[in-house]
Structure 1
């Protein structure tokens, strides 16, 4: 009787914990939105990195790529990493310089260290080191026209 009671109490708790852990898997946490995946289908809007660093054993923030964004374009806020035998993973894009002002249009594409370590356990870490597997969507910058005359001031 006490065994049945223990199972009835622990089963919902176990299912709850399993569901929470499943929601934190690399495939879920580093998944790419459909809108980003649609954008990388056009090769004219994609650049590959100049440099890729994959050293997840060194700690956080040691899996990244450096991208040069062409003049007249701006970088999207998501980098896509493709790995054979798996779905694409996404990371975030940050300015290259610590001040946030990127003079030469370079950006970092950061990849989650936990996801990199997970790929390492699957024997796929070498695929992260290949620049062709990293993609950054670039968008044409739009010029904003100033319609105010020099003597007018906005309200």
Structure 2
């Protein structure tokens, strides 16, 4: 009769070929692909004069979904792009989506940008949490409607 420890070792050894063969699939599904930015968004954040950074960044993925977000303050008379870009050293740029908007007393608006939880966990596993928490790494293009 096998002991519990020997049984676990046997299961681990039997599943090793599956893990090795599956590693290629995991690599092809990096969050950089899933949270990748459309080319037009990247070009706007590289060339636009009207870029803003968030007032506040919250990175708490352990609290569940939608707990990685930023709050951007949009000046009166401007509109926000539907995507924001997070740029981290050693990674491809990641995109998040701008969701709800709330007016402020001064005529400005606050918009919230959600960042994917699974992408956040990927970034944390790469040791880039400090970069993710830095507001200067988050960019949102704004524009005046015509």
TM-score, length basis structure 2: 0.77
1:135 counterpart = 2:132: no
Q: How does 1:58-137 map to 2 (within 5 A)?
A: 58-97=63-102, 102=103, 104-137=108-141
Query: What is the distance in 2 between the residues matched to 1:141 and 1:105?
Result: 15
Q: Which runs of 4+ in 1 moved over 3 A?
A: 21-24
Query: What is the distance in 1 between the residues matched to 2:28 and 2:40?
Result: 21
Tell me by how many angstroms 1:42 deviates: 2.8
Structure with the higher fraction of residues in helix conformation: 2
Tell me by how many angstroms 1:29 deviates: 0.5
Query: What is the distance in 1 between the residues matched to 2:82 and 2:27?
Result: 26
Tell me by how many angstroms 1:44 deviates: 1.8
Root-mean-square deviation (CA, aligned residues, Å) is 1.9
Which stretches in structure 1 are left out of the alignment for 5+ residues?
1-13, 143-155
1:31 counterpart = 2:26: no
Deviations 1:111-143 (A, max 9, x none): 00000001111100111100000000101122x
Query: What is the distance in 1 between the residues matched to 2:45 and 2:121?
Result: 25
Larger radius of gyration: 1
TM-score, length basis structure 1: 0.72
Is the Cα contact below 8 Å between 1:23 and 1:29 reproduced in 2?
no
1:51 counterpart = 2:63: no
How many residue pairs align between the two structures? Answer: 123
Q: 1:41 aligns with which of 46, 58, 65?
A: 46
Is the Cα contact below 8 Å between 1:32 and 1:88 reproduced in 2?
yes
